[in-house]
């Protein structure tokens, strides 16, 4: 509303000045901004020209912006819980626009962005945000798997800024990287993905957000058919002993959201987990929660995740 | 003449379920001519029957709890996982049920319990504050903060209900409690939201025994000790439940009894929240059902209430292990759903029962 009014006012003033000009040199006509229609998770958004002021409400998308060389267009982001690998966005030249779940509309309004990029935890705000600003929802879809999901999420961003060529290049490199890691995963033995939080554990399967461990790295599953609920299946330590995985991939959820609580190793350090082969061989691959649980589908992050898991298997 | 005998003389029918003034023999109440009064005989038979049935069901639940789990049963699984979990469930269930009854006696209202007057929420707030500002603090320290917050929240509730007119409808006090606990929960949610701890907070406050193993539940023995303390001072709490003036006229230091009683409630609720999370409605449902049958003599009904609370949570926890086997469901959800249903039924049928 405000924007539309401002636009009308601008047109009106321009018309006035144009009228007021005494003949002679014609006014330099700005090149007509071409408009593009970008398809994304929650529909289509028409974008005029190339956005210069972007607010990014999702850390995966932020990582993709950085990977595509678009950091300079970012003006605001939620700074709480910013992953370490994106720490440059903590700089004060970037505005803090609330949290992932709750964008601060007033702050965003002050920034007057010409594009919002949201996803995952902020996706539910789409109806509200898209009323005020052109908005893209680039939520990661778990069922596509890490690589195709990352590509699907980055595509609307690349299209908006005309970076399709860079995206194809990066994706090709990512796929090559993934293929190179497959043999490592297959030789790792039966793997189990465990998330720790508040002294308890939950298990995650191959269709979960951490599923790349099984689907891309090719680590055999220690237990079939673990449901794909967002927070996994709550489990007892008894069950961990029963499944007896050869290797455990551990995500510390409390560290991912910035609490310094009991760390994952402390939670797992008990007599029942000690019975597992994974503990006895010290095959606990600690995964960086900010990469695996918070950011996930960043164009650089996806490769870094795979590398981290593969390096953990070696170490 | 004990305090309780005085109370019985002055308030027949209030202190015990028997309508005739009784004489205490051992810890049983003998009403005059009990053998001749068929109603009394019926009552006593009923009581013995209830006890036998309760013990039988409880024993069966304990055995089931020791046998059911995600892993294959061997000595280590038994001692490191099954036994601790069963003990934790029994202690927490008994403590929350008894905490409800103590609170109902001392506030003199049938419809209050720690999770509906702000005690549990305050303890959660304490835990959150300790986690945010003193993350390096050992668990015992965080628990201390939670206990302190639980006591403060309970004291706040008592201050607030002092302004409720004496002759208001019975539902006013619990409603005030619900509002207060709502305000505390909202403030806690706001702080948790500021620090991105909402989901963690939810996990804490939802009762769940899946993380209980040897070495990680022992603080609950403190709650067990408080149960014993409550039993020792049961008569004083019963008399305190008659109201300040009556209790004082019988020679009880009402203020001290209130402070000790509510202190016990706050400490045991806080410990339960920190170790296993919240078990909503338990303190409402179990004491109310037991009171219907046994009246309000705490010394007599305490064992039944502890058994009832423990048995109910055991049953729910066994369900929590079975429904989603080999995975878990948070038992707090099951307790809340079943408890709320029973509580509503009681509210609706209350007129018919009295």
- Identify the pLDDT of residue B200: 78
Please check the confidence at residue B14 and state whether its pLDDT lies above 60.
no
- Identify the pLDDT of residue B22: 44
Q: Which two tokens stand for residue B109?
A: 């209202």
Nearest to B117 by CA among B185, B168, B186, B180: B180
Q: Would strands A95-96 and A43-48 be described as parallel, antiparallel, or unpaired?
A: unpaired
Q: Which two tokens stand for residue B206?
A: 């939802």
Q: Which two tokens stand for residue A208?
A: 């979960």
Report pLDDT digits (tens) over B216-229: 888 899 999 999 99
A270 with B213: Cβ contact below 8 A? yes
Nearest to B215 by CA among B85, B36, B109: B85
> In chain A, which stretches have pLDDT less than 50?
8-9, 11-32
- Identify the pLDDT of residue B241: 87
pTM of the model: 0.82
What letter would DSSP give residue B78?
A: I
Residue B102 CA to residue B260 CA, distance in Å, equals 10
A17, A20, A24, A27: CA torsion to nearest 10? 10
Q: Which two tokens stand for residue B347?
A: 């509210």
Residue numbers in B near A267 (CB within 8 A) = 211
Q: At what angle do helices A164-186 and A146-161 cross, to 10 degrees?
A: 170
Residue B22 CA to residue B12 CA, distance in Å, equals 9
With an 8 Å Cβ cutoff, is B136 touching chain A? yes
Beta bridge partners of A204: A193
Please check the confidence at residue B25 and state whether its pLDDT lies above 50.
no
* 3-class DSSP state of B86: helix
Report pLDDT digits (tens) over B81-130: 999 999 999 999 999 999 999 999 888 888 899 988 999 999 999 988 98
Within the 286-345 window of chain B, which residues sit less than 8 Å (CB to CB) from chain A? 324, 326-330
Alpha-carbon distance A122 to nearest alpha carbon in chain B (angstroms): 14
Alpha-carbon distance B9 to nearest alpha carbon in chain A (angstroms): 53
Query: Best mutation site among A101, A202, A238, A269 for testing chain B: the one with the most B CBs within 10 Å?
Result: A238
Q: What is the DSSP string of B130-181?
A: HHHH-TTS-HHHHHHHHHHHHHHHHHHHHHHHTTS-TTS-TTHHHHHHHHHH
A252, A229, B333, A242: CA torsion to nearest 10? -70
Report phi then psi at A239, rounded to 5: -65, -40
Q: Would residue A24 be called left, alpha or beta, if left means φ above 0 and alpha means ψ between -120 and 50 degrees? A: left
Q: What is the Rg, in whole angstroms, of the alpha carbon atoms belonging to chain A? A: 23
Nearest CB partner across the interface for A236, out of B200, B204, B210: B210
Residue pair B334/B315 in contact by the 8 Å Cβ criterion = no
B135 with A197: Cβ contact below 8 A? no
With an 8 Å Cβ cutoff, is B69 touching chain A? yes
Nearest CB partner across the interface for A81, out of B135, B196, B327: B196
A198 with B210: Cβ contact below 8 A? no
Report pLDDT digits (tens) over B235-289: 999 998 888 888 899 888 988 998 999 899 989 998 898 889 889 889 988 998 8
- Identify the pLDDT of residue B354: 43
- Identify the pLDDT of residue B2: 67
With an 8 Å Cβ cutoff, is B202 touching chain A? no
* CB half-sphere exposure, A214, CA atoms < 13 A: 20
- Identify the pLDDT of residue A5: 53
Residue numbers in A near B71 (CB within 8 A) = 236, 238-239, 241-242, 272
**Distance from chain centroid for Cα B126:** 20
- Identify the pLDDT of residue A115: 95
Alpha-carbon distance A96 to nearest alpha carbon in chain B (angstroms): 13
Hey, how many other C-beta atoms are within 10 angstroms of the C-beta on A266? 12
Give percent helix, percent strand, percent coil of chain B, each to the nearest 5: 70, 0, 25
A259 with B197: Cβ contact below 8 A? yes
Residue numbers in A near B213 (CB within 8 A) = 237, 270-272
Residue B121 CA to residue B273 CA, distance in Å, equals 9
Report pLDDT digits (tens) over B289-332: 888 877 778 888 899 899 999 999 999 999 999 998 899 998 98
- Identify the pLDDT of residue A275: 96
H/E stretch holding A63 reads: helix A59-67
Residue numbers in B near A199 (CB within 8 A) = 211, 216
- Identify the pLDDT of residue A33: 62
B216 with A197: Cβ contact below 8 A? no
With an 8 Å Cβ cutoff, is B97 touching chain A? no
Hey, how many other C-beta atoms are within 10 angstroms of the C-beta on A39? 12
Dihedral sign, CA of B134, B331, A142, A248? positive
Write the CB contacts of B61 (distance below 8 Å, at least 6 apart in sequence): B311, B314, B315, B318
Alpha-carbon distance A233 to nearest alpha carbon in chain B (angstroms): 6
Whether the upstream peptide bond of residue A252 has omega within 30° of 0, thus cis, is no
Q: Which two tokens stand for residue B126?
A: 């304490």
Nearest to A164 by CA among A297, A36, A31: A36
Residue A221 Cα distances to A175, A193, A209, A238, angstroms: 22, 9, 15, 18
Residue A293 CA to residue A254 CA, distance in Å, equals 10
Q: Which two tokens stand for residue A53?
A: 């002021």
Q: Which two tokens stand for residue A19?
A: 């009228």
- Identify the pLDDT of residue A3: 54
* Residue position matching structure tokens 């409808």: B169
The 8 Å CB, 24+ separation contacts for A89-97 are A89/A62, A97/A55, A97/A57
* 3-class DSSP state of A221: strand
Query: Best mutation site among B74, B210, B217, B276 for testing chain A: the one with the most A CBs within 10 Å?
Result: B210
Dihedral sign, CA of B287, B64, B210, B264? positive
Helices and strands (H, E) in chain B, number of each type: 16, 2
* 3-class DSSP state of A200: strand
Hey, how many other C-beta atoms are within 10 angstroms of the C-beta on B50? 14
With an 8 Å Cβ cutoff, is B224 touching chain A? no
Q: Which two tokens stand for residue A294?
A: 């918070």
What's the burial of A137, exposed, middle or buried (CB within 10 Å: 0-12/13-18/19+)?
Answer: buried
Residues in chain A: 315
Residue pair B277/B153 in contact by the 8 Å Cβ criterion = no
Residue B103 CA to residue B264 CA, distance in Å, equals 10
b/e map of B291-302 (b: 16 or more CB within 10 Å)? beebbbbbbbbb
Residue numbers in B near A236 (CB within 8 A) = 69-71, 81, 210-211, 328
H/E stretch holding A137 reads: strand A135-137
With an 8 Å Cβ cutoff, is B103 touching chain A? no
A76, A79, A84, A89: CA torsion to nearest 10? 20
Whether the upstream peptide bond of residue B105 has omega within 30° of 0, thus cis, is no
A235 with B200: Cβ contact below 8 A? no
* 3-class DSSP state of A203: strand
Residue B194 CA to residue B175 CA, distance in Å, equals 29
A242 with B71: Cβ contact below 8 A? yes
Q: Would strands A74-77 and A95-96 be described as parallel, antiparallel, or unpaired?
A: parallel
**pLDDT: is A254 or B163 the higher one?**
B163
A191, A263, B223, B265: CA torsion to nearest 10? -120
H/E stretch holding B65 reads: helix B38-67
Residue B325 CA to residue B319 CA, distance in Å, equals 9
Report pLDDT digits (tens) over B26-64: 445 454 544 567 888 888 888 788 788 889 999 999 999
């Amino acid at each position: 509303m405000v924007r539309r009014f401002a636009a009308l006012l601008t047109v009106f003033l321009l018309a006035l000045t144009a009228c007021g000009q005494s003949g002679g040199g014609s006014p330099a006509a700005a090149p007509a901004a071409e408009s593009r229609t970008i398809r994304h998770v929650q529909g289509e958004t028409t974008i005029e020209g190339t956005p210069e002021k972007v607010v990014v409400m999702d850390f995966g998308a932020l990582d993709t912006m950085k990977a595509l060389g678009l950091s300079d267009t970012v003006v605001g982001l939620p700074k709480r819980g910013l992953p370490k690998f994106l720490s440059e966005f903590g700089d004060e030249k970037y505005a803090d626009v609330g949290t992932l779940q709750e964008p601060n509309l007033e702050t965003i309004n002050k920034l007057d962005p010409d594009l919002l990029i949201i996803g995952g935890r902020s996706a539910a705000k789409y109806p509200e945000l898209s009323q005020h600003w052109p908005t893209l929802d680039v939520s990661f879809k778990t069922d596509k798997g890490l690589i195709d999901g990352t590509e699907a999420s980055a595509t609307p961003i690349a299209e908006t800024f005309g970076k399709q060529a860079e995206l194809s290049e990066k994706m090709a490199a990512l796929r090559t990287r993934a293929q190179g890691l497959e043999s490592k995963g297959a030789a790792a033995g039966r793997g189990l993905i465990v998330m720790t939080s508040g002294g308890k554990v939950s298990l995650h399967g191959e269709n979960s957000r951490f599923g790349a461990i099984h689907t891309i790295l090719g680590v055999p599953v220690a237990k079939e058919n673990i449901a794909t609920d967002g927070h996994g299946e709550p489990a007892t330590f008894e069950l961990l002993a029963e499944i007896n995985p050869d290797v455990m991939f551990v995500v510390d959820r409390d560290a991912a959201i910035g609490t310094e609580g009991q760390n994952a190793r402390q939670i797992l350090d008990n007599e029942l987990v000690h019975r597992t082969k994974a503990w006895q061989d010290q095959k606990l691959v600690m995964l960086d929660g900010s990469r695996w649980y918070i950011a996930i589908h960043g164009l650089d992050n996806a490769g870094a995740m795979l590398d981290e898991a593969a390096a953990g298997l070696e170490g | 003449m004990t305090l309780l005998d005085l109370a019985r003389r002055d308030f027949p029918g209030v202190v015990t379920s028997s309508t005739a003034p009784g004489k205490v023999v051992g810890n049983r109440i003998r009403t005059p001519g009990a053998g001749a009064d068929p109603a009394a005989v019926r009552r006593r038979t009923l009581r013995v029957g209830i006890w036998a049935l309760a013990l039988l069901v409880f024993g069966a639940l304990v055995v089931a709890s020791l046998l059911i789990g995600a892993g294959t049963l061997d000595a280590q699984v038994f001692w490191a996982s099954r036994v601790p979990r069963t003990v934790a469930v029994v202690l927490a269930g008994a403590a929350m049920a008894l905490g409800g009854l103590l609170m109902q006696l001392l506030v003199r209202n049938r419809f209050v319990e720690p999770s509906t007057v702000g005690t549990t929420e305050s303890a959660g707030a304490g835990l959150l504050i300790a986690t945010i500002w003193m993350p390096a603090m050992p668990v015992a320290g965080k628990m201390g903060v939670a206990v302190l917050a639980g006591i403060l929240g309970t004291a706040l509730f008592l201050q607030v209900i002092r302004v409720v007119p004496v002759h208001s409808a019975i539902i006013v006090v619990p409603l005030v409690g619900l509002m207060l606990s709502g305000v505390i929960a909202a403030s806690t949610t706001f702080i948790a939201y500021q620090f991105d701890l909402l989901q963690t907070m939810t996990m804490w406050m939802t009762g769940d025994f899946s993380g209980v193993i040897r070495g990680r539940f022992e603080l609950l023995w403190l709650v067990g000790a408080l149960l014993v303390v409550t039993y020792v001072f049961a008569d004083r709490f019963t008399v305190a439940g008659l109201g300040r003036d009556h209790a004082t006229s019988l020679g009880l230091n009402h203020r001290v009894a209130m402070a000790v009683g509510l202190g016990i409630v706050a400490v045991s609720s806080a410990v339960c929240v920190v170790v296993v999370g919240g078990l909503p409605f338990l303190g409402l449902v179990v004491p109310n059902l037991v009171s219907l049958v046994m009246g309000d003599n705490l010394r007599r009904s305490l064992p039944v209430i502890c058994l009832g609370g423990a048995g109910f949570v055991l049953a729910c926890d066994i369900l929590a292990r079975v429904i989603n086997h080999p995975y878990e469901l948070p038992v707090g959800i099951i307790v809340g759903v079943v408890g709320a249903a029973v509580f509503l039924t009681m509210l609706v049928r209350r007129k018919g029962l009295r």
